[in-house]
Structure 1
Amino acid sequence: MHAFFRHLPRALAACVLALALLVLAAGVRAADGPMELAGIRLGATVDALAGKLVSPVVDRSPQRPSIGVVAVAPLPGYRSGYVDVGLCAKPGRIVRIKMNYADDSLAFFNKLMTALKQRYGEPREWRGNAFGTLRTWKWGLRAANGEPVSLILMHYEGEDGAFTDGNSIRIAATSMVREEELCRAAEKKASGAGGSAHLAVDAEALGLDWFLPH
């Protein structure tokens, strides 16, 4: 190989080498996006996984009325977890899985981060804060069946109840989530409930103090 490059003009040799590296890189790609976490598979039904869930009863999420929430039964190595399931397009279909690890240390988070980078490549998005209390990385992937999958790894150590303490991981079939949202929106429109129930009031007339906690 070295003898081959010695007999080529420098510019041509550089081009040939670059092409060879591109071919090698193309043969090494990240793994397909994940569809399963903790033995639970995206797209599966609540009934099919009843033994892995605390209860088949579905509670509607107040933030996402098209989605229901079911807790995951206790599993080794995990503190807790839940699945989001569709309530409209395909009732009972699992569209999102979130698991909270028993080990809440930053060292464990770093190990997970390293392993995920090796498997799926560099994440697409950073959602942490400047204080270091929230570290969130997001991958936008595609499963072997073509399904777009969102993967989020998070570490949090603070006092904001909006975030889960410790280490957590979440995968979501984004097209399935969207399908449920569109179905719910169509239902609301058909029933005439699509309009906003909030009163149109001038915020300045209310005064800023109205919007602050007391």
Structure 2
Amino acid sequence: MKIHYTVWVAIILLVISGTSFAETPHQLGPFILGHDIAEFADFVQMDTSLPIRHMESIREVETRPIKGFKSGLIAYGTCAAPNRVVRIKLKYSDGSKSFYKKLKKRIDYRFGKSDEYRGDPFHIVIGWKWSFMDKDNNKISLILQHNARDEEEKIGNAIKLTMTSLLESDWECYKKKVPAEQAGGSASETQELELEQTGWDLFMPR
């Protein structure tokens, strides 16, 4: 009897483990983390490719118009993960809070409750983060955000899916290859410039 019980426990654990890995998200819209950016040439504008400030090994391209989405930025590596997609950021066409609530409910149902609140205390910007580990031990984060009226953030509903382990390894690769003063900005860019004003005059509007 104990043997049968042990076998059933083992089977249940395997099923749970397999489901956990299977339910780790890797795709948003047509874009898939870890895949070559060239696979999505029909969905991006490669002539918009620019390095991310202070993380120059990672480049971002704008998406073309895609049904259901207003805009997007796809990031890919150039060093440890050349041309591989490391982050997907998409803004939904529907910017309503009701759409956000329905989507949040469905994400919770599929992947479990979110791990961390990433919005402000007043809920002008509402954001929730999920953290995952896939079967290949890749760390993946998912952030869903609704912005009601903060003009410094994108108004409406946006979602971001990042393979953080791949992004970090690409940046570390770049820092080893490039002199420290160039990684994240040259010395001339990071050196503080002095002004004539001193004390509080330095900080006050004039």
Name the TM tier (shorter chain): 0.7 to 0.9
**Structure 1 pair 208/90, CA: closer, same or farther in 2 (3 Å)?**
farther
Quote the offset at 1:48 in angstroms. 2.0
Map of 1:10 onto structure 2: none
Determine the C-alpha separation between the residues in 1 that align with 2:175 and 2:200. Answer: 32
Q: Give the aligned CA root-mean-square deviation in angstroms.
A: 2.9
Quote the offset at 1:146 in angstroms. 2.8
What are the superposed Cα offsets for residues 131-170 of structure 1, whole Å, 9 maximum, x if unpaired? 2210000001122433211000000022432x11100111
Q: Answer yes or no: is 1:78 the counterpart of 2:66.
A: no
**Structure 1 pair 122/159, CA: closer, same or farther in 2 (3 Å)?**
closer
Q: Answer yes or no: is 1:187 the counterpart of 2:182.
A: no
What are the superposed Cα offsets for residues 50-103 of structure 1, whole Å, 9 maximum, x if unpaired? 112122552112242121111112111111111011122232211000110001
Map of 2:113 onto structure 1: 122
Q: Helix, strand or coil for the counterpart of 1:71? A: strand
**Structure 1 pair 130/44, CA: closer, same or farther in 2 (3 Å)?**
same
Q: Helix, strand or coil for the counterpart of 1:68? A: strand
Residue 61 (structure 1) aligned to one of 52, 69, 89: 52
Residue 178 (structure 1) aligned to one of 168, 175, 182: 168
Map of 2:157 onto structure 1: 167
Q: Percent identity?
A: 28
Determine the C-alpha separation between the residues in 2 that align with 1:188 and 1:106. Answer: 44
Q: Answer yes or no: is 1:207 the counterpart of 2:199.
A: yes
Determine the C-alpha separation between the residues in 2 that align with 1:36 and 1:51. Answer: 16
**Does the CA-based 8 Å contact 1:32-1:144 persist in structure 2?**
no
Map of 1:109 onto structure 2: 100
Map of 2:3 onto structure 1: none
| TM-score, normalised relative to structure 1 | 0.76
Q: Matched residue pairs, number? A: 189
| TM-score, normalised relative to structure 2 | 0.79
Determine the C-alpha separation between the residues in 1 that align with 2:187 and 2:59. Answer: 22
Map of 1:11 onto structure 2: none
**Does the CA-based 8 Å contact 2:87-2:163 persist in structure 1?**
yes
**Does the CA-based 8 Å contact 1:46-1:56 persist in structure 2?**
no
Quote the offset at 1:126 in angstroms. 0.4
Structure 1 spans left out of the alignment, 5+ residues? 1-19
Structure 2 spans left out of the alignment, 5+ residues? 1-8
